[in-house]
Amino acid sequence: MNQLDQLKQHTTVVADTGNFKQLGAFAPRDATTNPSLILKAVQQPDYAPLLAETVAAHKGQPMEQVVDEVLVRFGREILKVVPGRVSTEVDARLSFDTACTVQRARRIMAMYEAAGIGRERVLIKIAATWEGIQAARILEHEGIHCNLTLLFSFCQAVACGDAGVRLISPFVGRIYDWYKKSAGSAWDEAANAGVNDPGVKSVSQIYTYYKKFDIGTEVMGASFRNVGQIVALAGCDLLTISPELLAQLQASDAPLERRLDPESARQSAIHAVTYNEASFRYALNEDAMATEKLSEGIRAFAADAIKLDKMIEGLK
């Protein structure tokens, strides 16, 4: 078997793309999107008509509603290809507003339901700020399941577990990027590869903690820079992978072994922790990497949301 098929024996494979015409070749169960991926897709000739058609069908509506209609339209097309779930993101500009995040998430889910798609097939993506995690707590109680994204630290993961979040997306590659940049010329790629990769270590720690304490939140490693990071996390609940890296896995017949295992995790000698708002904010502040990457990620997603707004405005 190729490495992609081997990986699927241990882990649910998710495609990280807004390009639904690519999905069939890799047969992922789920797919994830974000504003940057949707923006990238709608700039391609294959998808421009879909954008124009959706905008035309909702002329006269407020911009934020039209944007959500576009995101949901892409999600609906993706769900024609994948048998599982699609993740659709709430505007990153609401990352520090619990009430508005809840409101937008409810509207996105209502749009899916109006199209005949059940809640079990949709995850609402929200940035893992304190406010975002509290929004997810409310939504989960309403049966709207969430994917907490831009997750870089252990305290974010613990707070998500305590909130009963359905799924988290710890960002492997962006953690790796930060440590590599921080080390500069002292960075030793070989010494920081595989299980020693700082992003891989972060996800492994979270996975072990969740399994040790029977936390039901699913762990989905995200933001990969190379196949080695993926191979080192074989056995994680889910991994969301770009089409480029899916193709590399599919082209390789190298052996792939399970690295993360729930039984081994349950034997770990670790202690349970919990965070209130103050201790969460302090723990996040103490983690320079997580603080910087969370802020940077929100800014980048917000910038692409603004670009998407302008594209839509030009079609209205």
Element (H, E) at 167: strand 167-170
Element (H, E) at 155: helix 154-162
Which of the residues 21, 40, 59, 125 is marked catalytic? 125
With a CB cutoff of 8 Å and minimum separation 6, the contacts of 46 are 21
With a CB cutoff of 8 Å and minimum separation 6, the contacts of 8 are none
> Do residues 219 and 237 touch, judged by C-beta distance below 8 A?
yes
> Do residues 140 and 164 touch, judged by C-beta distance below 8 A?
yes
Closest C-alpha among 196, 195, 263 to residue 232:
195
Count Cα atoms within 13 angstroms, Cβ side, for 295. 9
Annotated catalytic, 125? yes
Q: By three-state DSSP, how is residue 131 classified?
A: helix
Closest C-alpha among 51, 114, 124 to residue 87:
124
The rounded distance, in Å, linking the Cα atoms of 87 and 79 is 10
The rounded distance, in Å, linking the Cα atoms of 114 and 221 is 31
Residues serving a catalytic function are 125
